[in-house]
Amino acid sequence: MNHSAPEQPADVVARLRATFRTGRTKPVEWRMSQLRRLRDMLTENGTDLAAALHTDLGKSATEAFRTEIDFTVREIDHTLDHLADWLRPEPAPAPAHLGGDVSVWTQYDPLGVVLVIAPWNYPAQLLLAPVVGALASGNAVVAKPSELSPATSAVLARLLPAYLDTDAVAVVEGGVPETTALLAERFDHIFYTGNGTVGRIVLRAAVEHLTPVTLELGGKSPAFVDRDTDLAVVADRLARGKFLNAGQTCVAPDYVLTDPETAAALEPLLVNAVRGLYGSDPAASDEYGRIINERHFDRLTGLLDSGRTVVGGTSDRAAKYIAPTVLADVSPDAPVMREEIFGPILPIVTVPGVDEAIDFINDRDKPLALYVFSESEGTRRRFAAETSSGGLGHGLPLAHLTVSDLPFGGVGESGMGNYHGRYSIETFSHRKAVLDKPLH
């Protein structure tokens, strides 16, 4: 049987651009119909997607639905509920020197053809949530799933063309060669989620066409734990935020900063929290995931001797399993503190107090998220005023990214630009200034 050759990236982009130029993607009705069909895709095929996520990352069905499938459905529902209001032209006051018969306003115009490059850690959500914003803004979209999560990539490549307008939405699978070929094309916006090394490659490629770029990166997101807090609650919330998806979450608490006395009190409570979540043998827990591949497994196991093991520390390369691990007595210069961990290892670093914690954070790259556990309003205000991070969470890790009315994105080394809800419309649209003065 003869099979046609895969469409080349240049042909994909040219085809989608031709569609965009017809105006087909601009009507609000088209945008909303695509969002509804994407919602149908998720609700009708959630089991297939969850199975693929389990194959790639060992995710339980509960976690797959909560953090990827249902998460994206909520983003779609929020967008459908508010899209007409978001797109409404916004009038502005006209200055007196132009006369009283002048009208001025701003309106959102679609950018054109958008490229979305997804990572492997949440391979469905982090591909589809930006696609929601790009479609809602009236763009044609090239979706590039991660080749490091091949089962999920294959399911998405099969399902998206079955549900969405194939003249306006295309899926390009593959690895570095395919991504490199895509980046050589002219897009009207590139949305990349991943690490800073590849982010720089994306940015350099975009310069050739002066293409605007959103970079959703990562970094070492600190969690400061103040003395005189409810440490049992803190330990439970830290463990839930850190060990979700086996720690492979860009906004997971990367390390804990606290004073020595609080660190000592926190250690046994973190042991209890891990056992409460995954039992005495997390390897046997249906709710605990696996490391994406052997390369990342080897990198992570190389960090396990960076401190005293409080809990965990065991691993199985054949199963790509690393136990939920807490390390104490960790030096700021230890290997585990030199790079984003992106795995199930939680180091505890001690500092004398709040002043030193703020200095510690400010001496390093701006993180994607910062978490503060403190009952002191003054301390909370200080972290808000004296540090810079993509997001700030008081008392609860990860939760800010689930709020569709909040922008999600980094700052400095942790990224540029943001999205979710209305902020996706701002990212994937041009806010055009319009002036109208009658000729007579």
Residue showing tokens 């997390």:
282
Q: Which residue has the tokens 């609080």?
A: 262
Q: Could you list the beta-strand ranges (E) of 226-320.
A: 255-258, 308-311, 315-316
Does 339 participate in catalysis according to the annotation? no
Element (H, E) at 432: strand 429-436
From the candidates 75, 216, 413, 426, which is the catalytic residue?
Answer: 216
DSSP annotation of 133 reads: H
Tell me which DSSP letter residue 405 carries: T
208 C-beta neighbours (distance < 10 Å), count: 11
> In the annotation, is 250 catalytic?
yes
Instruction: Count Cβ neighbours within 10 Å for each residue of 278-312 and write b for 16 or more, e otherwise.
Output: beeebeeeebbbbbbeeebbeebbebbebbebbbb
Distances (CA, A) of 27 to 87, 109, 110: 11, 11, 10
Residue 177 CA: distances (Å) to CA of 5, 16, 232:
16, 21, 48
What's the rounded Cα separation, in Å, for the pair 239 and 243? 6
Instruction: Judge contact between 347 and 325, C-beta under 8 A.
Output: no
3-state DSSP assignment of residue 144: strand
Contact 397, 371 (CB under 8 A): yes
Run of H or E including 110: strand 103-110
Going from the C-alpha of 186 to that of each of 36, 176, 424, the distances in angstroms are 29, 18, 21
Q: Is 117 helix (H, G, I), strand (E, B) or coil?
A: strand
In the set 185, 250, 413, 426, the catalytic residue is 250
H-assigned helices in 307-374: 354-362
The distance of Cα 331 from the centroid of its chain, to the nearest Å, equals 29
Of 243, 244, 413, the closest CA to residue 339 belongs to 413
Catalytic residues: 216, 250
